[in-house]
Amino acid sequence: MRRPSPLLLIVTGAALLLAPAVLAKPRDKFLPPPPAPDRDFYVKKVAPFIEAHCIECHRGEGAGAFRLPDDDPGLSLERSRRADFERVRAFINRNVPWESRLLLKVMEPGEGGDPHVGGAFVKVETDEHDLLLDFVSGATLTNLPPEVWFEKSEVRAKPKQEVIIDGRGSFDRDRDDMENLAYWWELYSRPAESRVSVQDRRASRLTFSPDTGGSYVFRLRVSDGKVWSAPRAVTVEVFDRVRVVRTKPGGISGLDKLEEDQLRRLRRVYLDVLGRSPTPSEALAEGRRSIKSLVKNILLRAEMGRAWVEEIGIRFGLYDDFRVSSEEAIDLALRVPAENLAPHVVEATLARDPSFLRRHPPGRPLARAIAGLLLGREPTTAEELAAIALAAGQALDMPGVGPVLDSRDWLAKVLAGKAFRRAAMKRRLGRFLDSGGVGKHIGHALRAVEDGNKAWREYLEGVLIDQRYLERKQLRAKETVTFLRCLFIDLLERKPTDREMAALVRAVEAMQGGSAAFAAVVRIMIDSGDAPLPLLVDIYDAPRWLTDRFLRYLGRRPKSAELKAYGQVLLHPQGGPELVIQALLTGSEYACR
């Protein structure tokens, strides 16, 4: 029995970005850590695969991050393989073994693999894939570790509704009989106001009733009596249930039932907080809610944390071979809504991850990253020269920081400083306010953070329900990630998977961004075959269908001149529905939020 792999949308030949998996937390004190990769299993079972597929490119210079030791004629085959093992295990994530770079780098991209210059060597459900999955999961020559499996990793529920999470899909690789598995549940995070707890940690199925809205995250580990597996997490999103109703091609979503002010207000909060537009189902379910209730609900969602962390990670360049690896950073997206983390805490957690220094190595690259990404300004010449000296092993006084021992010490002191805290807050408030508003709010926001996480959340709620925010007239260009998320919602009627988002981000980067890149991505997605595009004969009420598209994509009704012009395109022999949709999604208004 093997873990299924999601089918990906292959967009271009651009490399895939892997968003951090949501799993790890400081381990439960009653259980040992997940199993580590076993050297003897590598030497006997895995080394032949590595030698057949990896050594030609990964021994010596030019091997990239995965560099195996140079050949040493004095070493026996077994000792040489043991030396390789020490390098290989750095590419294994024991807390999330199925996301280990060693495995993903050799898998087919269409089955979830990462970009790899050397190509793909294995497919899911093959012996080679199973061998590597066993190895990264901690297999030994005498035992294969068990694995947790759930049918769904995200569940929706209402407050007080009984929720059952079934862990009986978990399995032991050595046996078909699963009766001997032991289970251990952990409540990883819950809303600050909740008092929910795990009643029976050892049950195969967990049952609980959420007592308030927000995100609840549970983790499960299983044991075969010899070793405990790595954990898997299930997120339970608790809010007024939104029943997903897909509109037939050519059909009408019903958004015309909402007032434009209601739709505009809802779209503003969704675009600014979740980084995407609402689905028609979400808009119809939540468009008439009070703004206070809407804002409180959205800030509690796990999706808010995932969206924010994903955006920062992409801005920091932490993807592909540079994605985060520390438990603190892997864990971050779940902690954001549960603990109401402040902006400087979120950004510092990602900047402290080892991948940040690998992506921006000591010297000028680090100086530019600290100044530009963390402090929001250009580096000075003095800072660049001092950074070069630090990289060479010289301790010195850094401008504006004081005595530092090395590059890591410099980064740590910057992250602890007031300038970084202020810059991080400015970036977060800039998501919601214009530059003048940020200047007026930043002092109050920083004082709210000093008063605690609850005060910070209440302050942010106040910003988002303020009439000046809701009535803001100025349109802003959508960030790349927001634009792509919106395309999935508006064109494919669903949220993107991590790897689908990754492929598109890489494609936009390869095309150097801009409106031309966005237009190309729209065309690619329309041509993917996954978009439910109507035929002209499917459209029974052309003016109403056009109005519905304006409401869905732009959040407003068309003007009479627009309705006439787009109607002509719709009915023209060389036009049609597809051309109307493409024109709306590639226009300057859609590119803004």
SS (H, E, C) 323-373: CCCCHHHHCHHHHHHHHCCCHHHHHHHHHHCHHHHHHCCCCHHHHHHHHHH
Per-residue pLDDT tens over the stretch 526-541: 888 888 888 888 898 9
Is the model more confident about 2 or about 216?
216
The domain boundary, picked from 143, 158, 190, lies at: 143
Cβ atoms of 194 and 211 within 8 Å: the answer is yes
Residue with tokens 């009408």: 252
Mean pLDDT in the chain? Answer: 85
Query: Does residue 382 carry a pLDDT above 70?
Result: yes
The domain boundary, picked from 120, 143, 166, lies at: 143
Which tokens go with 514? 């801009």
pLDDT for 340 equals: 87
Query: Does residue 449 carry a pLDDT above 90?
Result: yes
> Do 422 and 459 lie in a common domain?
yes
In a domain, 508, yes or no: no
Which tokens go with 434? 């214009």
> Do 202 and 329 lie in a common domain?
no
pLDDT for 309 equals: 94
Q: What's the number of domains the chain is made of?
A: 3
Is the model more confident about 350 or about 496?
350
Which of 26, 49, 145, 36 has the alpha carbon at shortest distance from 94? Answer: 36
Instruction: Give the H/E segment covering residue 261.
Output: helix 260-269
Query: Does residue 138 carry a pLDDT above 60?
Result: yes
The domain boundary, picked from 121, 143, 165, lies at: 143
pLDDT for 174 equals: 81
In a domain, 82, yes or no: yes
Phi, psi at residue 215, to the nearest 5°?
A: -110, 130
> Do 156 and 132 lie in a common domain?
no
> Do 317 and 465 lie in a common domain?
yes
In a domain, 214, yes or no: yes
Q: What domain range is 168 assigned to?
A: 147-238
Per-residue pLDDT tens over the stretch 226-266: 999 988 888 888 876 556 666 777 778 889 999 999 999 99
Query: Does residue 25 carry a pLDDT above 50?
Result: no
> Do 131 and 106 lie in a common domain?
yes
DSSP class of residue 32 equals P
Q: Which residue type is seen at 22?
A: V
pLDDT for 28 equals: 54
> Do 400 and 464 lie in a common domain?
yes
pLDDT for 5 equals: 35
In a domain, 205, yes or no: yes
Query: Does residue 498 carry a pLDDT above 80?
Result: no
Count each helix (H run) and each strand (E run) in the chain, helices first: 27, 10
Mean pLDDT of the 569-574 span: 91
pLDDT for 242 equals: 56
Per-residue pLDDT tens over the stretch 92-134: 888 888 888 888 888 887 777 777 777 788 888 888 988 999 9
Per-residue pLDDT tens over the stretch 199-220: 899 999 999 999 887 788 899 9
Is the model more confident about 167 or about 473?
167
pLDDT for 177 equals: 60
Query: Does residue 549 carry a pLDDT above 80?
Result: yes
pLDDT band of 63, cuts 50, 70, 90: low
Rounded to whole angstroms, the Cα distance separating 253 from 278 reads 12
DSSP class of residue 497 equals P
Rounded to whole angstroms, the Cα distance separating 221 from 573 reads 60
pLDDT band of 8, cuts 50, 70, 90: very low
SS3 396: strand
Rounded to whole angstroms, the Cα distance separating 353 from 325 reads 7
pLDDT band of 434, cuts 50, 70, 90: confident
> Do 453 and 324 lie in a common domain?
yes
Query: Does residue 20 carry a pLDDT above 60?
Result: no
Which tokens go with 543? 């003016």
- What is the DSSP annotation of 271-285? IIIISSPPPHHHHHH
Rounded to whole angstroms, the Cα distance separating 522 from 491 reads 9
In a domain, 457, yes or no: yes
> Do 136 and 54 lie in a common domain?
yes
pLDDT for 331 equals: 80
pLDDT for 243 equals: 61
Is the model more confident about 64 or about 563?
563
SS3 512: coil
Per-residue pLDDT tens over the stretch 316-367: 988 777 878 787 888 888 888 878 899 999 999 999 998 999 999 999 999 9
In a domain, 525, yes or no: no
In CATH, what number is assigned to the domain containing residue 165?
2.60.40.10
Query: Does residue 439 carry a pLDDT above 80?
Result: yes
SS3 187: strand
Choice among 42-51, 480-489, 528-537 with the minimum mean pLDDT: 528-537
> Do 344 and 201 lie in a common domain?
no
pLDDT for 400 equals: 80
pLDDT for 12 equals: 33
Rounded to whole angstroms, the Cα distance separating 340 from 346 reads 10
In a domain, 493, yes or no: no
pLDDT for 330 equals: 81
Q: Which alpha helices (H) appear in 430-559, and where do they start and end?
A: 435-450, 453-465, 467-470, 480-487, 498-510, 514-527, 542-554
Mean pLDDT of the 180-187 span: 90
Q: Exposed e or buried b for every residue in 188-210, given b needs 16+ CB within 10 A?
A: bbbbeebebeeeeeeebebebeb
Choice among 12-21, 130-139, 474-483, 484-493 with the minimum mean pLDDT: 12-21
> Do 110 and 153 lie in a common domain?
no
> Do 120 and 158 lie in a common domain?
no
> Do 323 and 447 lie in a common domain?
yes
Per-residue pLDDT tens over the stretch 582-592: 999 999 999 99
Is the model more confident about 118 or about 294?
294
In a domain, 360, yes or no: yes
